[in-house]
Chains A and B, each alone.
Chain A
């Protein structure tokens, strides 16, 4: 084998190795998305609260020695004109007890719309100790023009909540997902059927 052809072989081998790194990094970036979610779930960072929780009232007793204040905040995403607010701005609860609060929502537009609420919790260290057995955020809301709704949310603050956490802020952002999800067939409206906007 001549020196030149050996060098050409070496170059080819290097290029193959480097191309492998490139492909590997492509897989890595694709894996970053689930890894990111997993990381946030494990650490409770990001203030994402968990899905439906099964609560057996017989097994736990409320910790009556302390009260935790839970504040509720609501906002609507840009371009979302629904009315959306909590019936109570804040409640004081004993860790370990089940509580129900409700949120008011009204479709102020003249067309049927679907909404999705996304929760976020501060401080994030409390996220894993905040359980919801029932929440409107687990599903989407389809509201007719002018329709209003009381949406219940049942939650338990875990007894294991760190002692230094005295108040928890739970915020909901309401997003318009009508286009993304799509209205059911019978509710599709054509341009000439659009009724004038009511309310506002």
Chain B
């Protein structure tokens, strides 16, 4: 179940949500009529239901579903895996193919279909972050496919890629997995950076502070993501030089990330701020993502990591960057652009209520996990010792609040679509960007004739 939770959230929730946003927004934001390759897009989307039916079906199989964590370390996922692992492998292959096709489509659209005058350095931040994310996906998805293919061969064709008895090496699995895995976690956060870079300037009614440095920061984060993979495996017995290299390179990531956080704060500084729901989610993103980022720096310290490794501290860390990070940015994006999609405004007070429920729920769920982790509660184990019961009780209460508040979110969305007040073309007075020059709801083919790119509409 933990394995399926991880994989569904990564490949079935966060990534498709971001790809969906990209498909909606990128053509409008660069002034194109539609995506470059609609047929490939269709294929990429319709693969997903098959991939996930295959993956979820493993839960009902004899021997149980995959039970080796979302990192599926060999030999847990090969020698000791339940038979359903083969379904899991093919599901991962399909998801990889879907992601690669989605990315090729996005890059082809951005590079070839921008309106005249929309130079690369005038592109909105969401487009920039997705361009870089798509390159990351194209680079690392084949690596994941290779890793699961080697697993498949080890299980069914008697090879020994990861089996020490046959001359292979289980640690090599971890190296290959994390060479994919670290860029993968940035794939899940870079588009979030883009979204927040649209929302904060809108509600602070100022231009985004340091646009150029934002672009370079995203590019350097993407580059660094390829050279830090082994910080997930400090305890495998690396030589000192390796540990130091991966420790320093990991800490280096804090620099471009810090640049972004300070730029968002500087954008808000002395702005005429209002606090509509998207802005609340965006500010919560900045604050809570920074908490997750700081615990990331704690984990990067090799000697300290020996203590934190595989505990709930790590669980708290990555849930802070993925839930109030990636997920909050997606929710913020939905509130921000829903007037453009549906032509209706959501109910502001219900939106605010949803925000506060989510904000409280997220913190009540994940903050105590820092403490249970530091006290030694191991991750990936469904049961726990008695002394952790209180912290887990708090987490459970928070998780219920958070879960129900997302059901409430669904209600808010349905209410908006059915009976929301009509939205203006420029739904937010401070909103900039080509998408706001279109009527709400946006027509199926947005810009049949390339629009004129005016200087006041750039840098969202």
Contacts and interface: CB of A to CB of B under 8 A. Distances in A.
Interface of A: 7, 10-11, 14-15, 18-19, 21-22, 25-26, 28-30, 32-33, 36-37, 40, 43, 45-46, 77, 116, 118, 122, 124-125, 173, 175-177, 180
Contacts of B453: none
A11 B36 contact: yes
Contacts of A21: 138-139
Nearest to A122: B237
B36 A33 contact: no
A18 B165 contact: no
Interface string B127-167: 00000000000111111011100100000001011001110
B19 to A, nearest CB: 16
B382 interface: no
Contact of A14 (B108, B141, B158): B108
A134 to B, nearest CB: 20
A26 B169 contact: no
Interface in B13-60: 36-37
B243 to A, nearest CB: 12
Contact of B142 (A29, A46, A122): A29
Contacts of B238: 45
A29 B176 CA distance: 8
A14 B138 contact: no
A46 B150 CA distance: 21
Nearest to B166: A180
Nearest to A10: B112
B100 interface: yes
Interface in B87-146: 100, 103-104, 107-108, 111-113, 138-143, 145-146
Contact of B108 (A11, A25, A33, A43): A11
A14 B111 contact: yes
B334 interface: no
B239 A45 contact: yes
A180 B104 contact: no
Contacts of A124: 237, 239
Given A21-B138, A36-B172, A14 B112 contact: yes
Given A32-B176, A46-B169, A116-B165, A22 B142 contact: yes
For the complex of A and B, list the 7 residue pairs with the smallest distance between their C-beta atoms, beginning with the closest.
Answer: A29-B146, A175-B165, A25-B142, A10-B112, A26-B142, A14-B108, A18-B104
Contacts of A46: 169, 171
B426 interface: no
Contacts of B239: 43, 45, 124-125
Given A11-B36, A14-B108, A125-B239, A180 B165 contact: yes
Nearest to B160: A180
Nearest to A174: B165
A11 B172 CA distance: 38
A85 B64 CA distance: 37
15 contacts: A10-B112, A14-B107, A18-B104, A21-B139, A22-B100, A29-B146, A32-B176, A37-B169, A40-B169, A43-B239, A45-B238, A45-B239, A122-B237, A124-B237, A175-B165
A25 B176 contact: no
Contact of A18 (B108, B147, B161, B169): B108
Residue of B107, B112, B147, B176 most packed against chain A (CB within 10 A) = B112
Contacts of A30: 146
Interface in B60-107: 100, 103-104, 107
Given A14-B36, A14-B107, 19 more contacts: A11-B113, A14-B111, A22-B100, A22-B138, A22-B141, A22-B142, A25-B140, A25-B141, A29-B176, A30-B146, A32-B146, A32-B175, A32-B176, A36-B175, A43-B239, A118-B165, A124-B237, A177-B165, A180-B165
Nearest to B180: A29
Contacts of A18: 103-104, 107-108, 138
B164 A11 contact: no
Most A CB atoms within 10 A — which of B142, B164, B172? B142
B145 A26 contact: yes
Contact of A15 (B37, B140, B165, B237): B37
Nearest to A77: B165
A51 to B, nearest CB: 12
Contact of B147 (A15, A29, A37): A29
Nearest to A118: B164
A43 to B, nearest CB: 8
Contacts of B150: 33
A97 B140 CA distance: 49
Nearest to A13: B112
Contact of A25 (B36, B138, B160): B138
B143 A29 contact: yes
Contact of B37 (A11, A28, A32, A37): A11
A15 B141 CA distance: 16
Contacts of A125: 239
Contacts of A45: 238-239, 242
